[in-house]
């Protein structure tokens, strides 16, 4: 297939592009630059809403992974606006280009997040569950709505609601230093569910959706293994051969990170990958320990 990818240099994109190319697909990476294009690159400017529809024309699929990381620090009004604009501008630009292409792609896979469900305690959640409350839920809803504007008889849209991605960078990377120092442990009560997914499975799930034309709409990209925050801390400590009993009280997390701590670290989302299970997807890394060991292997 010919596949156009935005966010190709990010945590997921840097693993996905080589995986797609190894499978034999032709990948076009969207880049924001006016300098000479490297092979396999095409220029766009999502902030200005510019992308030549010819880049999209005739592609089999578009994969949108664009967006500033939500875990880079405290959220103030400026950061929140950048989190929104980095997602919505890019998605609207892609949706417009798809709509204007002479031969539109058959598929748009758009990143989203389990933050869509908000803080739901022990409630079992799947793709049919209602939207939750809070900034991340509203951001995810608006992001998905922008992607659905590309939906047509020619183009199906899959909304990839990602859990915590276990990869060498990202959330796991930020946890390594305190855990290696023996200062890691659960956050708050440790009882909150943390839905997660290994980076290998993120790539594999995208390939799975490419090959299953009946899959569209929300897809929970999480493993069936239900993990609480305390389980995550214990497992990471085990892999690193370090103690993991140094708790971070909820009030300290809120003091340090404000709303971000409430939405990302203390919120509980017991999410199931019902769509993937119903279609027979087999997880490559079904256990958190295996996923962490794979992510940290040389």
Beta pairing class for 196-198 and 270-271: unpaired
pLDDT greater than 70 at residue 35: no
Which pLDDT score, from 0 to 100, does residue 39 have?
85
> Are 174 and 143 spatial neighbours (Cβ–Cβ below 8 Å)?
no
pTM as predicted: 0.95
pLDDT in tens, 169-178: 899 998 999 9
Provide the domain count of the chain.
Answer: 1
User: What would the mean pLDDT of 203-223 be, rounded to a whole number?
Assistant: 98
User: What would the mean pLDDT of 77-87 be, rounded to a whole number?
Assistant: 95
Report the alpha-carbon distance of residue 246 to residue 232 in Å, rounded.
Answer: 13
Which pLDDT score, from 0 to 100, does residue 157 have?
98
pLDDT greater than 70 at residue 223: yes
> Are 265 and 215 spatial neighbours (Cβ–Cβ below 8 Å)?
no
Residue 80 confidence class, pLDDT cut points 50, 70, 90: very high
> For all residues of the chain together, what is the average pLDDT?
95
Q: In 3D, which of 160, 194, 180 has the Cα closest to residue 67? A: 160
Alpha-carbon distances, residue 98 vs 85, 157, 216, 258 (angstroms): 19, 11, 16, 38
Alpha-carbon distances, residue 254 vs 63, 166, 195, 261 (angstroms): 34, 24, 21, 6
What tokens were used for 201?
């499975």
What tokens were used for 246?
């140094």
Residue 102 confidence class, pLDDT cut points 50, 70, 90: very high
> Are 186 and 248 spatial neighbours (Cβ–Cβ below 8 Å)?
yes
- Residue 94: give its domain's CATH number: 3.40.50.720
Number of H helices and E strands in the chain, helices first, is 11, 11
User: What would the mean pLDDT of 58-74 be, rounded to a whole number?
Assistant: 92
Which pLDDT score, from 0 to 100, does residue 34 have?
64
Report the alpha-carbon distance of residue 196 to residue 203 in Å, rounded.
Answer: 14
Choice between 174 and 108, residue whose per-residue pLDDT is larger: 108
Report the alpha-carbon distance of residue 121 to residue 269 in Å, rounded.
Answer: 6
Count of other CB atoms within 10 angstroms of residue 49: 13
Which pLDDT score, from 0 to 100, does residue 116 have?
98
pLDDT in tens, 111-168: 999 999 999 999 999 999 999 999 999 999 999 999 999 999 999 999 999 999 999 9
Choice between 204 and 247, residue whose per-residue pLDDT is larger: 204
pLDDT in tens, 253-294: 999 899 999 999 999 999 999 999 999 999 999 999 999 999
User: What percentage of the chain exceeds 70 in pLDDT?
Assistant: 99
Count of other CB atoms within 10 angstroms of residue 89: 18
In terms of residue numbers, what domain contains 264? 2-296
pLDDT in tens, 227-254: 999 999 999 999 999 999 899 999 999 9
Report the alpha-carbon distance of residue 296 to residue 195 in Å, rounded.
Answer: 19
Residue 99 confidence class, pLDDT cut points 50, 70, 90: very high
Strands (E), the chain: 2-6, 26-31, 41-43, 61-64, 107-113, 124-125, 156-162, 164-166, 196-198, 217-221, 270-271
pLDDT greater than 70 at residue 24: yes
User: What percentage of the chain exceeds 90 in pLDDT?
Assistant: 92
User: What would the mean pLDDT of 21-31 be, rounded to a whole number?
Assistant: 96
Q: In 3D, which of 115, 122, 119, 155 has the Cα closest to residue 138? A: 115
């Amino acid at each position: 297939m010919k596949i156009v990818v935005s966010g190709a240099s990010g945590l997921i994109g840097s693993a996905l592009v080589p995986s797609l190319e190894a499978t034999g697909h032709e990948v076009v990476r969207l880049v924001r630059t006016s300098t000479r294009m490297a092979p396999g690159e095409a220029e766009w400017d999502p902030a200005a809403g510019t992308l030549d529809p010819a880049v999209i024309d005739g592609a089999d699929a578009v994969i949108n992974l664009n967006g500033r990381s939500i875990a880079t620090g405290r959220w103030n009004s400026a950061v929140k606006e950048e989190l929104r604009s980095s997602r919505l501008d890019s998605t609207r630009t892609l949706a417009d280009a798809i709509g204007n292409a002479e031969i539109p792609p058959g598929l748009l896979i758009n990143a989203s997040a389990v933050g869509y469900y908000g803080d739901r305690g022990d409630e079992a959640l799947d793709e049919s569950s209602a939207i939750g409350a809070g900034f991340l839920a509203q951001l995810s809803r608006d992001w998905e709505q922008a992607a659905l504007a590309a939906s047509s008889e020619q183009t199906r849209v899959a909304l990839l609601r990602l859990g915590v991605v276990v990869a060498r960078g990202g959330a796991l990377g930020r946890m390594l230093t305190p855990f290696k120092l023996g200062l890691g442990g659960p956050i708050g009560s440790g009882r909150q569910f943390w839905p997660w997914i290994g980076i290998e499975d993120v790539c594999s799930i995208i390939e799975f959706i490419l090959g299953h034309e009946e899959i569209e709409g929300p897809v929970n990209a999480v493993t069936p293994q239900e993990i609480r925050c305390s389980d995550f801390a214990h497992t990471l400590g085990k892999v690193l051969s370090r103690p993991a009993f140094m708790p971070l009280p909820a009030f300290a997390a809120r003091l340090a990170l404000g709303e971000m701590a409430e939405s990302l670290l203390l919120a509980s989302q017991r999410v199931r990958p019902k769509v993937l299970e119903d279609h027979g997807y087999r997880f490559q890394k079904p256990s958190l320990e295996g996923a962490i060991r794979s992510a940290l292997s040389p």
